[in-house]
Amino acid sequence: MNIDFARKLELAYHQQCKDLCNEFHLKQTGFDILMFLGNNPQYKHAKDIVEIRKIKANLVSIHVDQLVDQGYLSRIDVPGDRRKVELVLNKKANDVIKKGKAFQNHFFSSLFSDIDEKHQKIFKETLELMEKNIDCLLEEK
């Protein structure tokens, strides 16, 4: 298996979404944070972004501060826990999320162009099996 695949995939994604980031005056990490929150509404904390997206805590903190200052996010105190704050997408983030989702759909459709449905299905099933294997490997430690 070619180890460069994941790196190339990430590189292509970032290269392709530069125009969208520029349109909204966002840095890539800020865009990624907004899309993570928009695509995964069950996650509401900076810690979730750090743990799931594997973005360093200091970078998340810096970019969340910028997104709050730019009006894309708000911080809401969690009742009963003075140390916890939820991140909430503001209306200003709606256009970013809408265009970001359209971009992501187009990007992934482009990845699968010239690949018939049978092979796409096999690929997705293989990824699901690999994810289960990864989960098992992570549980071993």
pLDDT at 87: 95
Biggest distance spanned by C-alpha atoms of the chain = 53
The pair of three-digit structure tokens given for residue 9, joined into one six-digit string: 């995939």
- Does this model's pTM top 0.75? My answer is yes
SS3 69: helix
pLDDT at 6: 85
pLDDT at 1: 59
Catalogue all structural domains in the chain, each as residue range(s) with its CATH number: 4-114 (1.10.10.10)
Whether 99 contacts 107, CB under 8 Å: no
List pLDDT tens digits, range 114-125: 999 999 999 999
Average pLDDT across each block of 10 residues of the chain; the chain has 141 residues. List them in order: 83 94 95 96 93 92 96 90 86 97 95 94 94 91 65
Whether 60 contacts 46, CB under 8 Å: yes
The pair of three-digit structure tokens given for residue 91, joined into one six-digit string: 């209306």
